Every structure is written in structure tokens, then in C-alpha cells.
Structure 1
Amino acid sequence: MAERIEGLRLPRTQRRQQILAAAAQAFAETGFHGTSLADVATRVGVSQPGLLHHYPNKQALILAVLEERDEEDSRYLDETFREADPSVVDWLMALCERNAQRPELVRLFTVTAAESLDPAHPAHEFFQVRYQRIRTMVAHRIRVDQDRGRLARRVDPEGLASELMALMDGLQLQWLMQPPVDMCGLLETSLRRLAAGPDGQTGAASQVGARQDA
């Protein structure tokens, strides 16, 4: 079903994608409180009532942006490892390399995550749930690596998952600054050191080099 807005006839799905892309850019640049619906509407080239036809308020819009970007990442990782048994190293490196191609979205999540520390922020619950979900996913990957003999049993999966998330978040923040750090290079170095263990055997980390050199 198509709709007419500002003289342009676009399918509803396509218009929503335009709105989400423009909103993501605006929120990344000025944060939730600094972004207005009028600004997003101008970026898209629609009227503000036209924008509100799709998203009733700014709170709904930012949640839609964040949820859409998370779903895109999930689809990407599922497709990348559809027929593979990725180690936690492979999984995190694939995510890092994807993020390195999308600085505006990394900025969006970095800025919004910081803002959402305020319990009144519309994305406060979203980020609480998101961090718990990602910790669970990473911890699961660590347990699989332990079962495969790729990581030592002494490692606490939940604790290590929190450390790895903190490492990625910190590297992303430094990568956004000028001059930027080598986000994925530093992450790979840390993950190789983790997977090597005290005996110096590379284990899971060797898969990263094999994938990148292929």
C-alpha cells in the first residue's frame, strides 16, 4: 500500500525506512533531547504531521530506531555464521568489523546509552534489557568455547562477558574521537591474548586470522 506525502508517493515501508535513517542521524548528532521531530521531518522531506502518522511521538521514534538497528545486527550475524560454529572471538570480531563501517550508528548507540542512564529517558529500559541480552549471548558463546576446548574452564562466563562488553564499548568511544584508535585491531589483540591462555596456544583466536586472510 502506497501513500502520498509532500507530493511524493512511496510505499509505507520505504517511507518508514527513510524516517528511521534520518532520525538515527539526528539522534547521533544532537542526542534525544537536542533532536526535534520537526528536524527529522525536514531531513526526510515530509511534514511533521506526516511524520507523526508513522511514529506518534519522539519517544516512539527513538525506540524504533534502536530496535531496528539491533535487528539488523542480529540478521547480519545470523547470516554470517549460518553454517559455522563461531567462537566468541569470531563473533565479536564480526560485530566490530561491521560497526567499523557504520560510525554514525556507533555514535548513535554511544550517545543514547549515556543519555539513558537517566531513569526518565525513554530508552532507559531498552538499554537495561539490551545489555542483559548481550551479556547472556556472549556468556553463551564463552560456554560453547569452553565445551569445545577453546577457552579454559576456569573462566567465569558471565564475568568475562561483562568485561568484553566494557572493552568493546570503551574502544568504540575512543574510535569515535579524533585521532581515533584502531578499534578492531586492539580488540583482536585483546581477544587473541584471552584465547591463547597461559600456555600461549592460540585456540579460538587463530580462527580470526584464518577468516581475515581467506
Structure 2
Amino acid sequence: MARRADEGGTNAPQSRLAPAERREQIIEAASRVIAQNGFWGFAVRQVADECGLTEPAVIYHFKNKVGLLIAVLEHRDREDMTIFAHTLGVEAEDVWNGAVDFGIRELCAALVARNVAQPEMVRLYTVLQGESLNDHHPAYQYFQRREERVLGNLTRAAERDGIENPRREALAALSMMDGIQVRWLREPDAVDLVAEWNAYADSRWPRRD
């Protein structure tokens, strides 16, 4: 039987990855496990098994379960922003800073295009977003900040479009997007995320040719 690779335990590894590569491997595995089980339902042991490691090896890199969760969220934020910026044809830093010049329809279309390409990541965020409604959840503050940042970007986009109550418009758009995505995650073969979003966008912000 092959032994587990274990930088933090006692078993000699069959093969070693560089520390950065090992961290990335663990983060990818944790993303999958948390997407299926949520924070409260996953165990570090499950992540270790996914990687062929022992539990102490995972703890060696991330200290504890909360540290692993935060590492997953930070990693996904960077990946997410890179994909989103590429879809818009701008720099990721400009998206972070809100320094982009798009209307609300364009920004929302880019969000949907990004999300439809990564259903497991959307599932991860949807599961954690629901769990973190409890202010004792370790990701509570993270999701508060994240949602406010997204809402702020959409509000500024609505302002550029000259919409009368831009924050309300942004909140309505974000809520509709979240709702459609939940249906899509539940019934991916029955719900076309892009088509459903475009139908909403056409009814809300008709194109002016």
C-alpha cells in the first residue's frame, strides 16, 4: 500500500511537492469538499484523503480548519477576479478598485459568463453564503465585505447608466442573479443560466439600437 505524503507527520512521503504546489493542491481539494459539505460539514481528514496526505500534513500548511477555509476563499477571490477581468478585457486590479467604466448590464453579463464556466465554485460560494448568515460563522465578515464590494460596483454601474435609484437597482439585479443561480445549481440540465439571465436583462434594461 502506498504511504501518504506527509510533511507535517511521521510518514516519509512517496513524492514531495514544493510547498506552494502542495498548498495549491490542498486548496483545490478543500474547495471541492467544502462545496459539497459546507464549512460545518467538512472535516480536514476528507481534504487529506483527497490529496493522499495525513491530517497533520494539512494542518502543517494551514494551522486549522478555519485557516484552511480562509485560504480557500482568498485563493478563489484571486482566481475569480482574474477570470472576471479577462471577460471584461480589463486589469484585475481595476476591477478590485472599482475603476471600470461599464454599465450594469455589461457588468452583470460578465458575472454570469464567469459563473457559468465554474459551477463548482458557484456551489462553493452559495453553500458558504447561506451558512454565513449566522454571525458566528468564520466567513461571516468575509461575505459581508464581498457582497458590499459587488453591490458597490453594480451601484456605480447603475449610476453610469443614469438609473434613478442605482443601489436599489443593483440590489435587485444581484438578488435575481443569486436566485437564478440557485435554480441552475439544483437543475443544471433544466435551467440555462445565461438564457434566463438574458431574459431578465432584456426585460429590465432593454437594448437601445
TM-score (normalizing by structure 1): 0.81
Give distance in 2, aligned partners of 1:4 and 1:114. 34
Q: Which residue of 2 aligns with 1:166?
A: 175
Secondary structure, counterpart of 1:122 in structure 2: coil
How many aligned positions are there?
190
Q: Which residue of 2 aligns with 1:96?
A: 112
Secondary structure, counterpart of 1:61 in structure 2: helix
Give distance in 1, aligned partners of 2:136 and 2:201. 36
Give distance in 2, aligned partners of 1:73 and 1:34. 24
Q: CA deviation at 1:77?
A: 2.3
Give distance in 2, aligned partners of 1:113 and 1:123. 8
8 Å CA contact 1:4–1:10 kept in 2: the answer is no
Per-residue CA deviation, residues 2-28 of structure 1 (Å, 9 max, x unaligned), is: x97433221222111111110011011
8 Å CA contact 1:143–1:157 kept in 2: the answer is yes
Q: CA deviation at 1:144?
A: 2.1
8 Å CA contact 2:6–2:56 kept in 1: the answer is no
Per-residue CA deviation, residues 145-199 of structure 1 (Å, 9 max, x unaligned), is: 33xxxxxx42x11111111110111011000113542211111111122222xxx
Q: Which residue of 2 aligns with 1:183?
A: 193
**What is the one-letter code of the residue matched to 1:157?**
P
Q: 2:123 aligns with which of 107, 110, 118?
A: 107
TM-score (normalizing by structure 2): 0.83
Q: Which residue of 2 aligns with 1:149?
A: none
- Structure 2 residue runs without a partner (length 5+): 8-12, 91-99
Give distance in 1, aligned partners of 2:200 and 2:6. 52
> How do 1:19-38 residues align onto structure 2 when only pairs under 5 Å count?
19-38=26-45
Per-residue CA deviation, residues 194-213 of structure 1 (Å, 9 max, x unaligned), is: 222xxxxx13xx7xxxxxxx
Q: Which residue of 2 aligns with 1:212?
A: none
Secondary structure, counterpart of 1:176 in structure 2: helix
In 2 relative to 1, CA 126–180 (structure 1 residues): closer, same or farther, beyond 3 Å? Answer: farther
- The CA RMSD measured in Å over matched residues stands at 2.0
Q: Which residue of 2 aligns with 1:64?
A: 71
Identity rate, percent:
33
> How do 1:88-167 residues align onto structure 2 when only pairs under 5 Å count?
88-146=104-162, 153-154=163-164, 156-167=165-176
- Structure 1 residue runs without a partner (length 5+): 147-152, 197-201, 207-214
Give distance in 2, aligned partners of 1:91 and 1:36. 36
8 Å CA contact 1:37–1:58 kept in 2: the answer is yes
**What is the one-letter code of the residue matched to 1:172?**
Q
